[in-house]
Amino acid sequence: MYKTIPNVIVSFKTCTVITSYVYFYPCCIDFLVSFILGKTHGVWIGYSDIIQTKPFLALSDAKIPRYTHWNPREPNNLHGVEHCAIYLTQHDAWNDGNCNDKWLYVCKK
């Protein structure tokens, strides 16, 4: 497992180095939940609105996600610093978070 939990930039760079991308897809939610339970309360899911405010786009190809599962009243860009999407296990939903926060991630080739 990780010695330190990375922010979204480190996550994206790490996945890019191994020619893959930060990954999330609804079919895999059960795997992700079982993988991260007890390790963290959330995971980076590879979407951001850092280039433009809304819509959130995939970091891998700048496409709008075909599937979303935002928490009620999210994304809300709280304090103007929430530009990266995370999946929160305790809510079973997405939230926009600060890209400098540290969460686990999954790379997909």
The whole-number average pLDDT for the span 18-27 is 53
Residue 34 CA to residue 86 CA, distance in Å, equals 16
**Is domain 8-108 classified as CATH 3.10.100.10?**
yes
Domain map (residue ranges) of the chain: 8-108
Report whether pLDDT(33) > 70.
Answer: no
Of the two residues 80 and 32, the one the predictor is more confident about is 80
Q: How many CB atoms lie within 10 A of CB 50?
A: 15
pTM assigned to the model: 0.72
Q: How many CB atoms lie within 10 A of CB 72?
A: 7
Q: What is the pLDDT of residues 48-77, one digit of tens each?
A: 998 877 799 988 788 898 889 999 999 999
Amino acid 1: pLDDT? 41
Residue 68 CA to residue 103 CA, distance in Å, equals 19
Q: Are 8 and 99 in contact (CB under 8 A)?
A: yes
Q: Which of 107, 109, 104, 78 has the alpha carbon at shortest distance from 8?
A: 104
Report whether pLDDT(3) > 50.
Answer: no
* Single-letter residue type at 21: Y
Report whether pLDDT(79) > 90.
Answer: yes
Return the minimum-mean-pLDDT range out of 39-43, 68-72, 97-101, 103-107.
39-43
Report whether pLDDT(88) > 90.
Answer: no
